[in-house]
Structure 1
Amino acid sequence: MKIARLPSADIHWRQDGDPDGTPVVFANSLGTELRLWDKVIDLLPETGLRLIRFDKRGHGLSSCPESPYSMDDLASDTQQLLDHLQIGSCVFVGLSIGGMIGQLLSHRQPERIKGLVLSNTGAKMGEAAMWQDRIARIRAGGIESLADAILERWFSEDFRQTAECLAWRHMLVRTPTEGYIGCCEAIAGADLTDSTSGLRLPVLGIGGSEDLASPPAMVRGTADLIAGSRYVEISGAGHLPCVEKPDVFAGHLMTFLKEDLHV
């Protein structure tokens, strides 16, 4: 296991694939950690791609600074991690809050992000009042009290009947409460519409037809803010298509890398 001791937080990260390949950085959703990408990583080529993933602050094996957090904090953590890993430029794949981090990082350091995958995310995800209500309910009853409702937003009905879904439930409820709440605060305070509208880089938006957390129209609308972007929708998948339909997700990612970025 690898920990980057950064000025802002201690960030747990992992590298797979080709250490001399094109860096592809994966950023996770709220309530998950870097194992979110296991199935996709297993489907990608062993040569040509340097595959980096990490636990954002307050999640997985990273440290949990006191909340609240802002999207600027999360983008700064990621920027510091890339500095630590000496990654001058990369392809960034972000899901949900990870996609918001990718949008902001692309705005702050356009020379660093050569291509951006926005999976199940938005420039603005919900209203602040909704997030504050979720925070209040978690402070009162813990993440466990909302776990079943969150899983309904994450996964299709068929997937929720599988034994594997239990593992994702366990991951969710074991997320540090302050880390989860801190990231809720970051989402509540973020409206990236203006900065995302100014991005000029290759972008692939990926939606899930059964996603109740970031409906396909939200993802498509966010991708449409960026001139020249493409959008694809994965049928039968919810908020985490990299878990439910990893082969389809990996196929779209590889097409983007080859055809749009010539990697």
Structure 2
Amino acid sequence: MSQPFRFRTIDIDGQTLRTAVRPGKSHLTPLLIFNGIGANLELVLPFVRALDPDLEVIAFDVPGVGGSSTPSRPYRFSGLSKLAARMLDYLDYGQVNAIGVSWGGALAQQFAHDHPERCKKLILAATSAGAAMIPGKPKVLWRMASPRRYIQPSYGVKIAPDIYGGSFRRDPNLATAHAAKVRSSGKLGYYWQLFAGMGWTSIHWLHRIRQPTLVLAGDDDPIIPLVNMRLLAWRIPNSELHVIDDGHLFLVTRAEAVAPIIMRFLQEERQPAVMHPQQGPARGH
């Protein structure tokens, strides 16, 4: 049986962060989750429950989302990356594996780049290299630029098939269930998240990410077209790409299928990327 989640609200230099930890076993490196824009940690808990119960998992609400306080000033991904490292210190974690979803995938890339000693493996789900991405349809992006779907659940249910694609196009109950888990902190926190990603891109340093990286993409993702995930897998040296038959939120809608892929990746021993292998010594007779 999976352990229950332990919820804590911590304070780091005046910034309160709501955290949730599912305890696990010490033989597996804990997994840190960076969630999508506007998404409180409850939205990712069904995915966590699909993972091996021995895997310890750490989730949190970023500033301005869910139960975390909204800062008075905007922030950037570099600042959030540092805050995540401070949070791990506070919670007494050393090295973790990291998974980033959509907007959180950009933050996960930044974390792996800025704190390589803290990030053993990296998983990128339905995300992109930021400003260098191939954008989705303008109508979809316009709707994503507003926090209305989190503040007004009925609107979120209405537009879910168009913005999330995949299973949300076929099952109207998914949107209702998703909206019921939303916990909005208001518009300002959402706009701060948008600001964090404004002009940001990882395209010029992706080749320096040395962590083994699993890239997961949906083949019907209106927000992040599949070509963006192919670009990530191409630019990150030690990476592999898996395409899921679903939309943007496949971690939730296809959790039972995706969880084994993730667990296999986390449990296998892989060597770091070697860009310029040296010639070995010649063997004598």
- Smaller-chain TM-score range? 0.7 to 0.9
Contact 2:46 2:255 in 1 (8 A): yes
Pair 1:102 & 2:108 matched: yes
* 1:90-129 alpha-carbon deviations (Å, 9 max, x no partner): 10011011111111111111111110000001111557xx
* 1:191-241 alpha-carbon deviations (Å, 9 max, x no partner): 111122211110000001111111111112112211120000110x21111
Match of 2:196 among 167, 183, 186: 186
Aligned amino acid, residue 254 of structure 1: M
Query: 1:152 and 1:260 mapped to 2: Cα distance?
Result: 39
Could you tell me which residue of structure 2 aligns to residue 221 of structure 1? 231
Contact 1:58 1:65 in 2 (8 A): yes
Deviation at 1:39, TM superposition (A): 2.2
Q: Percent identity?
A: 25
TM-score by length of 1: 0.86
Q: Call closer, same or farther: CA 1:83–1:142 in 2, change over 3 Å.
A: closer
Aligned positions of 1:240-255 closer than 5 A: 240-255=249-264
| Structure 1: gaps (5+ residues) | none
For the residue of structure 1 that corresponds to 2:58, the secondary structure is strand
Query: 2:168 and 2:201 mapped to 1: Cα distance?
Result: 33
Aligned amino acid, residue 188 of structure 1: M
Could you tell me which residue of structure 2 aligns to residue 71 of structure 1? 77
Q: Call closer, same or farther: CA 1:138–1:234 in 2, change over 3 Å.
A: closer
Query: 1:93 and 1:175 mapped to 2: Cα distance?
Result: 23
Aligned positions of 1:26-45 closer than 5 A: 26-45=33-52
Query: 1:216 and 1:8 mapped to 2: Cα distance?
Result: 39
Deviation at 1:50, TM superposition (A): 1.5
Q: Call closer, same or farther: CA 1:261–1:57 in 2, change over 3 Å.
A: farther
Contact 2:160 2:168 in 1 (8 A): no
For the residue of structure 1 that corresponds to 2:123, the secondary structure is strand
Deviation at 1:76, TM superposition (A): 2.2
Deviation at 1:159, TM superposition (A): 5.0
Could you tell me which residue of structure 2 aligns to residue 3 of structure 1? 9
| Structure 2: gaps (5+ residues) | 1-6, 272-285
Contact 1:121 1:219 in 2 (8 A): yes
Deviation at 1:162, TM superposition (A): 2.7
Aligned positions of 1:1-263 closer than 5 A: 1-7=7-13, 9-18=15-24, 20=26, 21-47=28-54, 49-124=55-130, 134=142, 138=146, 144=152, 147=156, 148-149=158-159, 152-156=162-166, 158=168, 161-171=171-181, 174-235=184-245, 237-260=246-269
User: Number of aligned pairs?
Assistant: 256
Contact 1:32 1:175 in 2 (8 A): no
Query: 1:242 and 1:26 mapped to 2: Cα distance?
Result: 12
Q: Call closer, same or farther: CA 1:73–1:172 in 2, change over 3 Å.
A: farther
Q: Call closer, same or farther: CA 1:214–1:146 in 2, change over 3 Å.
A: farther
Deviation at 1:138, TM superposition (A): 3.8
Contact 2:165 2:220 in 1 (8 A): yes
State which drifts further: 181-190 or 62-71.
62-71
TM-score by length of 2: 0.79
Contact 1:135 1:181 in 2 (8 A): no
CA RMSD after TM alignment: 2.9
Query: 2:95 and 2:159 mapped to 1: Cα distance?
Result: 38
Contact 2:38 2:150 in 1 (8 A): no
For the residue of structure 1 that corresponds to 2:215, the secondary structure is strand
Aligned amino acid, residue 102 of structure 1: A
